[in-house]
């Protein structure tokens, strides 16, 4: 009886609802969207912009809503291709730039341009040509910071309607032609040689100046030493003369205190005359009164025998006679 009932039930009546339920569950599962961090989804409703989903769990109305664009909010790097640029002095150089940017408005980024990244790359290339074309080669090589600032400012203003914020721009490489690089290397080598020669000349000049200053200081020290030596000798001689004069003064004082007689005074006069002559060829002018005094003293000496220098000859001794008694 039960088997008959089971045979009477249609299997399709059970499978179809299960399939429908599985399809509904799958559709609902696909409508659940998880937006990652630093990412935004641009959602359209019936082909028209509806809303922007931020990070988190969202539910999409099936068949009515769709995710038009998935936009990352992270900072991105656009490494452009090397661009041939002609400078103001007609030199063709190859310039390679790097653009750092991020998206600040997902809606404007999704609907502002067909391909915003490609548009940014082409805009950076054309703007770079305009900026470098207004400079000569030397200014281009030495004005990287200025070019970077101007290029970043122009790109930032132009990409605002695309929802892009240009953070900074860097010139990665500037390649002049081969002959220009060769000439620049020769110029750099010549400049280094000139600096080396200048440094050597300055070193030699400094050495000469230092040597001259050393010689001058040595001469000054030598002159000061000689001056000090002369001063010391002069002070020594002055002290010696002073001591000698003091000794003579003491001798005269002692002579005066001893009350010498005329003979002693006359002897001192002779000693003074002998010192004046000092054994050298000198003329001594003797005053008249002194001459008379000398004569008197000579007379007195002859009378008294004082001052005789030559001793009298000894008397002859008679020869000794032989004693005949002792023969």
The pLDDT of residue 309 is: 44
Residue % of the chain over a pLDDT of 90 = 20
Burial class (CB in 10 A: 0-12, 13-18, 19+), 35: middle
The verdict on residue 107 lying in a domain is yes
The total of structural domains in the chain comes to 2
Q: What is the pLDDT of residues 274-298, one digit of tens each?
A: 666 555 555 555 555 555 555 555 4
Contact 76/98 with Cβ under 8 angstroms?
no
Average pLDDT, whole number, for the chain? 79
The verdict on residue 147 lying in a domain is yes
Q: What is the pLDDT of residues 192-202, one digit of tens each?
A: 888 888 888 98
| Confidence grade of residue 104 (pLDDT, cut at 50, 70, 90) | very high
pLDDT at residue 65 greater than cutoff 80: yes
The verdict on residue 226 lying in a domain is no
Tokens of 266: 């006359």
pLDDT at residue 165 greater than cutoff 90: yes
Does residue 29 sit in the same domain as residue 100? Answer: no
Most confidently modeled of 111-120, 134-143, 176-185, 316-325?
A: 111-120
Tokens of 161: 């309607």
Tokens of 123: 């805009």
The verdict on residue 121 lying in a domain is yes
pLDDT at residue 1 greater than cutoff 50: no
Compute the average pLDDT of residues 92-104: 91
Question: Cα dihedral angle (259, 264, 265, 266), rounded to 10 degrees?
Answer: 160
Residue 268 DSSP class: H
Q: What gap in Å lies between CA 198 and CA 185, rounded to an integer?
A: 20
The pLDDT of residue 157 is: 92
Does residue 94 sit in the same domain as residue 64? Answer: no
User: Domain of 125: which CATH number?
Assistant: 3.30.479.30
Instruction: Determine the structural domain holding residue 16 and report its residue range.
Output: 2-72
Compute the average pLDDT of residues 310-322: 52
The pLDDT of residue 85 is: 87
Residue 304 DSSP class: H
**Pick from 8-17, 49-58, 162-171, 173-182: least confident:** 8-17
pLDDT at residue 107 greater than cutoff 70: yes
CA angle 285–289–290, rounded 5-degree value: 55
Per DSSP bridges, beta strands 83-86 and 92-103 are antiparallel
| Confidence grade of residue 123 (pLDDT, cut at 50, 70, 90) | very high
Does residue 45 sit in the same domain as residue 106? Answer: no
Single pTM value for the model: 0.53
Q: What gap in Å lies between CA 65 and CA 59, rounded to an integer?
A: 10
For CA atoms 104, 109, 112, 114, the dihedral sign is: positive
Number of H helices, E strands in the chain: 9, 9
The verdict on residue 101 lying in a domain is yes
Compute the average pLDDT of residues 295-313: 48
The verdict on residue 313 lying in a domain is no
Choosing from 48, 72, 96, the residue where a domain stops is 72
The verdict on residue 155 lying in a domain is yes
The verdict on residue 206 lying in a domain is no
Compute the average pLDDT of residues 207-212: 90
Does residue 118 sit in the same domain as residue 168? Answer: yes
Choosing from 176, 191, 224, the residue where a domain stops is 176
């Amino acid at each position: 009886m039960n088997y008959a009932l089971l045979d009477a039930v249609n299997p399709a009546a059970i499978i179809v609802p299960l399939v429908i339920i599985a399809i509904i569950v799958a559709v609902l599962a696909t409508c659940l969207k998880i937006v990652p961090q630093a990412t935004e989804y641009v959602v359209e409703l019936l082909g028209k912009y509806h809303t922007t989903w931020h990070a988190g769990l969202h539910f999409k109305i099936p068949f009515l809503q769709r995710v038009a664009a998935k936009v990352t909010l992270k900072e991105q790097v656009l490494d452009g291709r090397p661009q041939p640029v002609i400078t103001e002095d007609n030199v063709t150089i190859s310039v390679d730039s790097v653009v750092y940017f991020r998206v600040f408005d997902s809606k404007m980024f999704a609907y502002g341009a067909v391909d915003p990244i490609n548009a940014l790359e082409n805009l950076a290339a054309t703007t770079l040509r305009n900026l470098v074309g207004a400079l000569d080669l030397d200014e281009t090589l030495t004005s990287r910071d200025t070019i970077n600032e101007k290029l970043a400012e122009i790109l930032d203003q132009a990409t605002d309607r695309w929802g892009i914020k240009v953070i900074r721009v860097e010139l990665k490489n500037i390649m002049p032609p081969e002959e220009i690089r060769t000439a620049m290397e020769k110029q750099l080598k010549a400049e280094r040689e000139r600096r080396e020669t200048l440094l050597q000349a300055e070193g030699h000049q400094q050495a000469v100046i230092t040597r001259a200053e050393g010689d001058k200081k040595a001469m000054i020290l030598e002159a000061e030493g000689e001056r000090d030596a002369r001063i010391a000798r002069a002070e020594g001689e002055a002290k010696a003369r002073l001591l000698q004069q003091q000794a003579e003064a003491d001798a005269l004082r002692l002579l005066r205190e001893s009350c010498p007689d005329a003979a002693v005074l006359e002897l001192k006069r002779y000693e003074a005359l002998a010192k004046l002559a000092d054994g050298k060829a000198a003329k001594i002018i003797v005053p008249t009164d002194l001459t008379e005094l000398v004569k008197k003293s000579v007379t007195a000496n002859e009378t008294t025998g004082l001052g005789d220098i030559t001793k009298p000859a000894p008397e002859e001794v008679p020869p000794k006679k032989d004693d005949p008694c002792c023969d």
